[in-house]
Amino acid sequence: MSGHSKWSTIKRKKAAEDAKRGKIFTKVIKEITVAARQSGGDEENNPRLRQAILSARDANMPADNIKRAIQKGTGELEGVSYEEAIFEGYGPGGVAIMMEVMTDNRKRTVAELRHLLTKYNGNLGETGCVAWMFDKRSLITIEKNGVDEDLLLETILEGGGDDYLEEDDVYEITADPENILDVRGELEKANFRIETAEVTLVPQNTVKVLGDDISSLLKLMDALEDHDDIQKVSSNFDIDEDELAEA
């Protein structure tokens, strides 16, 4: 996969920790609500909602929570109206950062994101300043233990996926965004254990971060990922394993 960045690995591990604490529920509930509001509460006719519900189940979210989120989206229950937006900026070392947001107060969100970026030696940019550096892709990770790579590739291609990359203790599978449910379905039928599945922004190339910029960048990425209005953060940074361990 072109442009694989260290952030994808760090984010996956952080997501696992957040899931244990139930912290991921807020983001998933927002996604379900917005998906249901846009295209209705029938998951069979709403691929975005279907994917959001699968993410909720991956995070062990109770069925009642999922049902209420859908009902808030369809208007059966009272709920907050969220606006979707993407903000772009730069972090320490000149790395590109994309922030996918759902907010009920755009002005407040902009001010808070600008403050965070400035605090950690970055800056909020204009629309389009870094978006061209990323491609929208499906990214699915599965456990690596005991996997038959020939069967894995055959299954990926059968579902309409592209390829896979070995990364630490998982395989990362890429596909076009519209094929995520098909690829996931084929993997599940073949009994592969899925860890994560999402449509995300993948960098075309990476930027190496060195020295003091590493600590500032990691603190910034943590702060952005923890922000209540941010759904996803993507970046193109890369850090050597030795330097990452010392950060």
Task: Please report, for the domain that includes residue 177, its CATH number.
Answer: 3.30.70.980
Read off the pLDDT of each residue in 37-60 and give the average, rounded to a whole number: 94
Within a domain: 194: yes
Read off the pLDDT of each residue in 183-201 and give the average, rounded to a whole number: 93
Domain boundaries, position 106: 1-21+83-238
Q: What is the pLDDT of residue 227?
A: 94
Mean pLDDT estimate for the chain: 91
The beta-strand segments (E) located in 2-124 are: 83-90, 96-103, 123-124
161 DSSP β-pair partners: 175
Res. 44: pLDDT tops 60? yes
Read off the pLDDT of each residue in 57-81 and give the average, rounded to a whole number: 93
Res. 1: pLDDT tops 50? no
pLDDT range class, residue 162, cuts 50, 70, 90: very high
Within a domain: 75: no
Within a domain: 180: yes
Q: What is the pLDDT of residue 178?
A: 96
DSSP assigned state of 80: P
Q: What is the pLDDT of residue 22?
A: 66
Res. 24: pLDDT tops 50? yes
Cβ–Cβ under 8 Å, residues 32 and 70: yes
Within a domain: 66: no
Domain count, the chain: 1
Torsion sign (Cα): 103, 130, 2, 117: negative
Neighbouring CB atoms inside 10 A of 240's CB total: 13
Res. 144: pLDDT tops 80? yes
Within a domain: 104: yes
pLDDT range class, residue 5, cuts 50, 70, 90: low
Q: What is the pLDDT of residue 2?
A: 44
Which are the contacts of 40, defined by CB distance < 8 A and separation ≥ 6?
46, 49, 74
Q: What is the pLDDT of residues 126-138, one digit of tens each?
A: 999 999 999 999 9
